[in-house]
Structure 1
Amino acid sequence: MRLHREGYTIMLTTGLVLLALNLLAYFYLFSDNSIAISLLAAASLVLFGLIVQFFRVPNRQLTLSDRQVIAPADGTVVVIEETDESEYFKARRRQISIFMSPLNVHVNRNPVSGIVRYFKYYPGKYLVAWHPKSSTENERTTVVIETANGVEVLFRQIAGAVARRIRWYVKENQPVEQGQEMGFIKFGSRVDVFIPLDAEVKVNIGDRMKGGVTVLAELP
């Protein structure tokens, strides 16, 4: 396991602030109260541990297949439905949505290999990630990858009420590999994936996903 580069500044800043706070408490605020000092130290360790675990990147054996769409993120499947995709396809597609809690790994990965045919970033609101309008009103990105077989898969990084920073590492006309890191969303969020209607969905609502590993669907 390693720690993601997106967390270096946050982890260093948090560590220094907590260290300064504990030193201040030890020498000045609670110098005669060992219980208060111990409680503050314990709370600081827990907080720092939570932040560090958020930026963890576990070692995984990635699933690689030209005919499969792989989960782009860890989390829980909260939506599987046929819907109108109005931004790019302007047609009916199958939507699979994965909600990422603050305890999930937050690396985002390419669900398929191919060429990035479309990319757009939208600033926006910070509605809770499960809100019906979060897909169209929150801060988000839209990415479309065309596979070698000519099938286009669209997916969106969507910020939530806590997540306020989306990172991406792709651009239009860039070749990408399935399972490769394409971005990161900080502190809780959601990813929507749009696949053809004739693709065979392999997951159910409530299933827990492993980014880069779990098969979402079989392409036609």
Structure 2
Amino acid sequence: MQMLGTFIKPMHPEGTKFVAIFATATLGLFLLSPVVGWIGVGLTIWCYYFFRDPKRITPTRPGLIVSPADGIVSLIEPAAPPAELGMAETPLTRVSVFMSVFNCHVNRTPIAGEITSVAYRPGKFFNASLDKASADNERNSLCIRMPNGQELAVVQIAGLVARRIVCFVTPDAQMQTGERFGLIRFGSRLDVYLPPGVSPLVSIGQTMIAGETVLAEMPVEDDGPRTEL
């Protein structure tokens, strides 16, 4: 059973109707040709696999910022957060995680805090690995205010194939690190805008696991002078 669980993962409810569509189409393909029908079986399995929603073990140390998505770090650069969030226009360190159509597409909160803003903006569908995708593509942006008052932005960006961004949260929601907040269908990207003074602990090309891989760490606050004993 443990080995079976390695290959068979739970599927997010968002995928149910898509798998049903693929499966129905596959039955029709078998009526045309068994060979084509088996291609449909493969595509149906892929669709199920795309919407997989495996459990993740999130590190619990306070101040850790985790990856919001599975995929590869494609960009690390300074950039201003999306204007629609109403944050300061000062450039922050932006870390982009590119998700291929083979990655798990369930998105998770990078750090605990309150969702102060959720802003959707329609746009184009350039390849999500390109830098201009952050500015031009369809996107959904979230601002998270941490207990210490600092803010972090995380942005869902549609890609060349993706046409639907799904967000499960609304403003005022209290989120925990690694908690599911949305998904993007069929290939896309997540941008994280780190708070001022926070540097990434990852490199371009590094493989990320949503809710598990540590992306950055908030500086430890000084609790005041300590008396040596």
Relative to the length of structure 2, the TM-score reads 0.87
* Distance (whole Å) between structure 1 residues aligned to residue 82 and residue 50 of structure 2: 33
CA offsets 1:5-45 (integer angstroms, 9 cap, x no match)? 111001001101111221x22xxxx5xxxxxx2x2233122
Provide the residue aligned with 1:168 in structure 2. 167
Aligned to 1:121: 120
**What's 1:138 paired with?**
137
CA separation of 1:50/1:86 partners in 2, compared to 1, >3 Å: closer, same or farther?
A: closer
Query: SS in structure 2 opposite 1:91?
Result: coil
How high is the sequence identity, in percent, across the aligned residues?
A: 36
- 1:86 Cα deviation from its structure 2 partner: 5.3
Residue number in structure 1 paired with 2:13: 5
CA contact (8 A) 1:82 1:197 kept: no
1:34 is matched with none
Q: Which moved more, 1:129-138 or 1:5-14?
A: 129-138
Does residue 78 of the first structure (1) align with residue 74 of the second (2)? yes
1:100–1:189 contact (8 Å) kept in structure 2: yes
* Range with greater deviation from structure 2 (87-96 or 185-194): 87-96
Number of equivalenced pairs: 208
CA–CA distance in 2 between the matches of 1:194 and 1:160?
Answer: 19
Q: Does the CA contact (< 8 Å) of 1:203 and 1:217 recur in 2?
A: yes
Q: Which amino acid aligns with 1:129?
A: A
Counterpart residue number, 1:159: 158
Instruction: Please say if 1:44 is aligned against 2:40.
Output: yes
Deviations along 1:67-97, one digit per CA (max 9) or x if unpaired, are 1111000000011112233512211200000
Which residue in the other structure is 1:89 paired with? 88
User: Who is 1:15 aligned against?
Assistant: 23
Distance in 2 of aligned mates of 1:44 and 1:79: 35
Which residue matches 1:33? none
Residue identity opposite 2:145 in structure 1: E
Of residues 53, 56, 60 in structure 2, which corresponds to 1:57? 53
Q: TM-score, normalised by structure 1?
A: 0.90
* RMSD across aligned positions (CA): 1.3
- Offset of 1:158 from its aligned partner? 0.1
Distance 1:206 1:117 in 2: 31
The unaligned stretches of length 5 or more in structure 2 are 1-8, 220-229
**Structure 1: how far apart are the matches of 2:20 and 2:47?**
11
